Amino acid sequence: MHCYVEQGGNGEFATDEVSRVLKELASAGTLFLSISGGEPLLRGDLFEVIAEARRLAFDVKLKTNGLLIGPEEARRIRSLHVHEVQVSVYSHRAEAHEGITGVGGSLERSLSAIRLMRSLGQRVILSYVAMRGTEGDHPGVKALASELGAVFRIDPAITPRLNGDDSNLELNVGRGELVKIVQNPDYVNSVEEYCAPPAPADAATLEGVSCSAGFAHCYIAPNGDVYPCVQFPLLCGSLRERTFAEIWGDSPRLKELRRARNRDLPVCHGCSHLSLCSRCPGLAYMEGDMRGPSAADCEKSYARTGIVPSGSPRLAEGKFRYWKEEGMCRG
């Protein structure tokens, strides 16, 4: 319903190909490996893949809906020393959660998976995606996480699908709710620091970048295509044709991405929120220019500080794109 990942196989890598890529990643110095989907447990060889990743000493994280995790799967996850398992829970109310997943009984099944894993001491993150219709459920989901001994996390943003379809943005909560989330200690450790008025951009900020996509992390699609991030559909190479080291080191697109420092961003470099903004170059790319502003981050930055700068690109467009609400564009 809301997921940014496009569904569909398109030549998924076989186990031996995954294994080869894991070796290439390890020898390139990669330490962290997040396995997500779709639903990763739909791969019959998932545990073989995790075992190989652990043999190569990766720090493995798993994102799943938990529906396919029974006692045996929970035991295997635990015994393979998966660092953490993230399970999305949209509401503590079954009808609301299942209205989003479209699967009857899915809340109870996800919770039962979490219980099984927790009973074995597995670290579990219960991730609450704030959405229109369930925005009031934050305290209920938090209480559920605490009852289960899981770590509670909030994700306030629904982002466009990788094919550019942004119809799911309608599911984002309103601006008032976003403000409540970003100014909540459940979302950030220090609200005071996170929501302080922006400091002027200093030399380090101007020389820096707002995101490590393409610098320290990347996304590998099930078919071996390499992108800077799961939210950045800029194809940088195929692991069917080249090694990971070749793509990581030589891709002209990655080089172009790495060249863009904050000072080179035509709109953002003059923005009063630059020093605090977590501009996502992937979302900016999907809006037409990887060096441009990203609407989601403009709107989130303004929600943090409560200030909408008069020269804001969002005001120029006359509307907010992600977190809409009547009268919110008065500045």
User: Which residues inside 142-201 make contact with other proteins, applying CB under 8 A?
Assistant: none
The answer to the question of residue 297 lying near ligand SF4 (CB under 6 A) is yes
The answer to the question of residue 30 lying near other proteins (CB under 8 A) is yes
C-alpha distances (whole Å) from 268 to each of 13, 129, 193, 198, 329 are 39, 28, 21, 13, 19
The answer to the question of residue 286 lying near ligand SF4 (CB under 6 A) is no
Pick between residue 246 and residue 317 the one whose CB is nearest to ligand SF4: 317
Rule CB under 8 A: choose which of 18, 26, 178, 181 binds other proteins.
Answer: 26
**Residue 145 CB-half CA count within 13 A:** 24
The answer to the question of residue 81 lying near other proteins (CB under 8 A) is yes
Rule CB under 6 A: choose which of 38, 228, 281, 293 binds ligand SF4.
Answer: 293
The answer to the question of residue 82 lying near other proteins (CB under 8 A) is yes
The answer to the question of residue 8 lying near other proteins (CB under 8 A) is no
CB 227 within 8 A of CB 233: yes
At what angle are helices 71-79 and 46-55 packed, to 10 degrees?
A: 10
Burial of 177: CB neighbours in 10 Å, binned 0-12, 13-18, 19+: buried
Burial of 241: CB neighbours in 10 Å, binned 0-12, 13-18, 19+: exposed
Pick between residue 49 and residue 267 the one whose CB is nearest to ligand SF4: 267
Look up residue 330 and give its DSSP letter. G
CB 82 within 8 A of CB 121: no
CB 87 within 8 A of CB 64: yes
DSSP string, 154-203: EE------TTS--GGGGGSPPHHHHHHHHTSTTT-S-HHHHTSPPPPP-H
- Smallest separation (angstroms) from other proteins to the CB of 314: 37
> Omega before 327 cis (within 30°)?
no
**Residue 268 CB-half CA count within 13 A:** 31
Pick between residue 19 and residue 294 the one whose CB is nearest to ligand SF4: 294
The answer to the question of residue 57 lying near other proteins (CB under 8 A) is yes
- Smallest separation (angstroms) from other proteins to the CB of 31: 4
Q: Taking the CB of residue 251, how many other CB atoms lie within 10 A of it?
A: 21
Binding mask 302-321 for ligand SF4 (x = CB under 6 A): -----------x--------
Rule CB under 8 A: choose which of 123, 180, 258, 324 binds other proteins.
Answer: 123
C-alpha distances (whole Å) from 318 to each of 43, 147, 288 are 45, 44, 18
Rule CB under 6 A: choose which of 218, 267, 286, 290 binds ligand SF4.
Answer: 267
The one segment of 64-72, 127-135, 235-243, 292-300 that binds ligand SF4 by CB under 6 A: 292-300
- Smallest separation (angstroms) from ligand SF4 to the CB of 71: 46
The answer to the question of residue 274 lying near ligand SF4 (CB under 6 A) is yes
Binding site for other proteins (CB under 8 A): 26, 29-31, 54, 57-60, 81-84, 123
Binding interface with ligand SF4 (CB under 6 A): 267-268, 271, 273-274, 277, 279, 293-294, 297-298, 301, 313
